[in-house]
Chains A and B, each alone.
Chain A
Amino acid sequence: MAEKNKAVVQNSVKPGKWVNSTCKMCLHSCNVRIHVGEDGTVNKVEGNSTSPSNFSGLCPKGNSSLQRLYDPNRIKTPLKRTNPRKGPKDDPGWVPISWDEALDIVATELKKTLEDDPRKLLPAINDFQKLYLWAWPAAFGGNANYFSVVGTFCGGGYHPMNGMVHSAFAGANDSDYCNYWINDGGGDGFSSHLHVAAAARYMANARVKRGMRVVTVEPRLSISAAKSEEWIPIRPATDKQFALGLCHVLVNENLYDEQSLKKDTNAVYLVGPDGYFVRSEDDKAYVWDPVDNVAKTWDDETIKDFAIEGVYEVEGVTAKPAFQLFKDILEDCTPEKMSEITTISADTIRRIAREFAEAASIGSTIRIEGRDLPLRPAAFNYYRGAQGHKTGSMTNHAYKLVNFLVGSIDAPGGHIGATLDDYWEDRGHIWEGKDGMILPTPHQLHPEVPFAYPPNTAHLMDYFPLGVDPGHLIADTFFNPEKYGYDFTPDTMLICHSNPLWHMNGDQEKLFEIMRRMRFIVGIDILINETNIWADIILPAHDNLERWNMTMIEPPNTEGPCLTQPVIEPMYDTKSEEDIFNEISERIGILDTWNQVLNFANHFADHKPELALEPGIKYSDKDIAERKGKLWNGKDLDWYMEHGHAVTKRRPEKFYRAWEGMRIHFYLEIVVEERDKLRKNMEEANVPFLNEWEWDDYQPLPLPVLDPVHKEPEEYDLYAISFKDVQLNFTENLSIPWIADIVHRDPVHMGVLLNPKTAAGRNIEDGDIIEITSPYGSVKGIAKVMEGVHTDCVAISNAVTRWTEDHPIVKAGGGNYNRLLPADLKNTDGCSGQMECTAKVKISKFISKIKDPDEANALLRRYAFPDSE
């Protein structure tokens, strides 16, 4: 016993080795070091102190990654279904089979589809750290389907808007200089969104060391709201009106950065009655010079000043500067009017706008690395909750305009574009567009899908020239092929690291029926989930601690790729995703095309041709990782293995005003152009649903229109929202015991939050099981009566939305929140594809409080999906 006391007991100091790698417990890429004991066991995962991103920090998810590796429920061999009956409760009767047999079956079935009609494949490929895998369907006969809303839920409106405004995938406030941070429905720096562990440290330092003020606008008392100097509860789905109210005050009280609007934006370009910029014969946009009192083309060297207000006659039409058009819109957005919609008092809207403008210190500058830059330490940040509404494009634009008005777009201290995956060190993300403006890049995930009628995609991506894949529309198109003119019916599915039945909005029974009608489903994953349990064949992938990768995913403060390397030999008979797709591709005869697609998706061929993949070769995960590293900085894999990453702070020339000398898009003429092109295409093709298209969503400037969710029948008298915190965001990890330990004892995550005032009027007490019903579906849940939620609102944690019975740790809630949401054109942004994420609901007591939590959980499990009710 005495000896035992001498033995080392703490894992990180036991004899062993440290291996540099990258966390994958959410989609982002924090840098980690992984400790492997002398016995070969992984026993500690820590942040990598050499990283200027997350430093030594790691969130609870990152801290729990070894439990995923060692989850005994992992898929250990390829599996084949023996029970032909498919349903959410049907045991697939898995039997283990060999890789050869499994791959042959998959190849045979997929080849049938490829030869029949490649459009019949519905892919859901969602490994964000291997984004190039998402492009595999392109090699499969140019398939562009997407049976998923990963991307759309977080940012149908968001990502294209960032592409149009910043030429970036995401956006974040600059915590290095910001002093006044409005956080609307986001969570950046506290609980969610970009690189939580990294952003949280930057945020904490800004608040504590610099005294940055944070104002959080949300229906629920989130972590951000709790930590903020001020929480402003807002009625769900009215954040756009709040932002427009702020804009009204900024404009009407002359609290805006006129010089920035004149010099850096297209707010001075003259817009004609058709919504386009008025252009000269040589196709140059006009501005108005108020000194010479004449219209001049934007590049005229004699321009003495720019008019931002007024009405002018140019080229025979009446035109206004874009800023004037916005000012006209804002007439209807008085704080009093916006207050009625948002429930935020007019005084508060005015006060926040004034505080924001004052903090922005318009006119101030800062010298950073030899450049004099405008210093605008006030910024409006937002994300999922605020942006996820039917008028998503306008909504996102409204938030950006708050920042435009004070000149904080891409300025130190302001609201800044964050790129997704930079690929190369020596090329920024800005391209020159028309009329001295930057090129808008709305397609951040894949190239535009060209218009086609009949549609070539099951989710109508051919009709969203500015959108993110609205996979949820498949629930409508699949059952109404005549309406949409389809000449194909999907019958095959490939699901890779995705759980669409869990994450898609809409009628769950319809989604189940789609699954039932598939001739063949293949799943690639490490655990069985609600969706791949419907598969015919399961192909098991390596865990992140067993694979190679090189990735950089939208870090807000840093740049540079991060290496993932195997820390132990694979525990089971699994393969890398690359090996799996190579084997399938070779068997169905598309390996060479797949290599070409990989060259395109990774920018190998166009940027460093010597890295291009050649035909006929199956490149491993290690090969791809090495090439991606070399593409960035020319360093080989040994260098990355030693350093773990090439992460540096984002270089100021790239982070701040990378578009210097060009103008950014205050006014979105591209939206008008794409609307008209789409309409012309639809008219010429005589598309039957032309008149059903939500054309009003295409606006070059945001309007204060209400989202349709507010117009549901009166009996639905409350709003429902869903939420996540750091333990749950951007991932499925409720199957991890350590995460379950911390989540399941937090009342915030174990039920349906409602305010005591809301509960009292409905005879509901804390602990009662309540039914929440929207016009589209219903769920049940345990009432958690709390002060920290808006009185018009019930809030449901993502922790109670799963229903798998295939994992002992996952607790089923009383149904998936997404069931409450519509999945139709009427509630989808015609411009961006964004679905509505808020539901109108009514609630009622279902059963009084059940004291035994196990009994309550067992009951809730019965309501996990609709046909069990």
Chain B
Amino acid sequence: MPRWGMVLDLKRCVGCNACAVACMQENSLPSGMMWTKTVSEEIGIYPNVTRAYIPMLCNHCENAPCERVCPTKATYITDDGLIMVDENKCIGCGACYTACPYKNRHLMEKKHLKKGHYGAELTPFETQGYPRFEVGTMVKCTFCHERIAEGLDPACVFTCPTEARVFGDLDDPESEVRRLIQSRKGYQPLAQHNTKSKVFYID
């Protein structure tokens, strides 16, 4: 059984947000909701200034606060390490959101689904995609669980123009993710929270 993880290469990322749009496409996300995105921040004082581009998504933590606090056991960890939400059990209480130090979870509200990106009318794309969602439940990145089950990379990884995202088995010492974590000293986001994130960053 693999233990899925991702490496985000900050040297490669150009902040284009192709990942964000690929995710919105793949998962039929409603307007304004992003399961992954890249943020940027200016660092320094002119002329010694630069800008950092930081991709973010659910870190699929091994020691996941969201899972720990869920009162209905809706949030669970699969055998291959994905953090998933069972919409039949989720009551949308938001405890997981409060517990998540990364805030990479979203409550699907009625307002999200009652209109499309262009206004009141849903487009055929939205009509075919929105029924996957249950109002009042938490939704989030699934590492594209259905794509990876078919041997494909997650949509954000597949589309990234600069190959700044690498997906693979953290238990496989030969995998690209392991190689990158070792050779380029991968680190976990907000490691002080001891979440054991399975998403690593490299500089």
Chain A interface (Cβ < 8 Å from any Cβ of B): 1-2, 4-5, 7-13, 37, 39, 41-47, 54, 56-60, 62-64, 66-67, 70-73, 190-191, 196-198, 200-201, 203-205, 207-208, 221, 223, 225-227, 231, 233, 725-727, 737-739, 741-742, 746, 748, 755-757, 786-789, 791, 808-809
Contact = CB atoms under 8 A, between A and B. Distances in A.
A43 B130 CA distance: 12
Given A11-B129, A56-B159, A746 B46 contact: no
Contacts of B15: 223
A197 B42 contact: no
Contacts of A42: 124-125
Contacts of A1: 87-88
Interface residues of B, number: 60
B42 A221 contact: yes
Contacts of A5: 86-88
A12 B15 CA distance: 24
Contact of A191 (B16, B20, B52, B129): B16
A11 B42 contact: no
Contact of A63 (B25, B31, B86): B25
Contacts of A39: 128
A58 B128 contact: no
B27 A11 contact: yes
Contacts of B49: 221, 231, 787-788
A809 B28 contact: no
A717 B200 CA distance: 47
Contacts of B52: 226
Contact of A233 (B22, B26, B45, B47): B47
A59 B18 contact: yes
B102 interface: no
B162 interface: yes
B160 to A, nearest CB: 6
A221 to B, nearest CB: 6
Contact of B144 (A10, A66, A204, A221): A10
19 contacts: A10-B144, A11-B28, A12-B26, A13-B146, A41-B127, A44-B155, A46-B158, A57-B160, A60-B17, A60-B21, A70-B123, A72-B119, A190-B14, A201-B162, A203-B162, A204-B11, A742-B20, A742-B37, A788-B49
| Chain B CB within 10 A, most for which of A10, A44, A59, A742 | A10
Contacts of B73: none
A41 B161 contact: no
Contacts of A787: 42, 44-46, 49
Nearest to A198: B161
Contact of B51 (A7, A197, A221): A221
Interface in B134-181: 144-147, 150, 152-153, 155, 158-164
B76 interface: no
A89 B82 CA distance: 53
Contact of A791 (B9, B20, B46, B152): B46
A66 B25 contact: yes
Contacts, number: 198
A808 B118 contact: yes
B14 A9 contact: no
A44 B17 CA distance: 16
B128 A41 contact: yes
Contact of A9 (B16, B27, B117): B27
B26 A47 contact: no
Contact of A809 (B45, B118, B159): B118
B163 A737 contact: no
Nearest to B46: A787
A808 B121 CA distance: 13
Contacts of A204: 11-12, 14, 161-164
Contacts of A789: 46
A72 B124 CA distance: 10
B51 A226 contact: yes
A746 B144 CA distance: 26
B128 A37 contact: yes
A10 B147 CA distance: 7
B53 interface: yes
Contacts of A226: 40, 50-53
Contacts of B163: 57, 201, 204-205
A863 B200 CA distance: 46
A62 B47 CA distance: 34
A791 B45 CA distance: 12
B70 interface: no
Contacts of A223: 14-16, 51, 53
B99 to A, nearest CB: 24
B158 A56 contact: yes
Nearest to B20: A742
Contacts of B96: none
Nearest to B11: A208
A54 B21 CA distance: 17
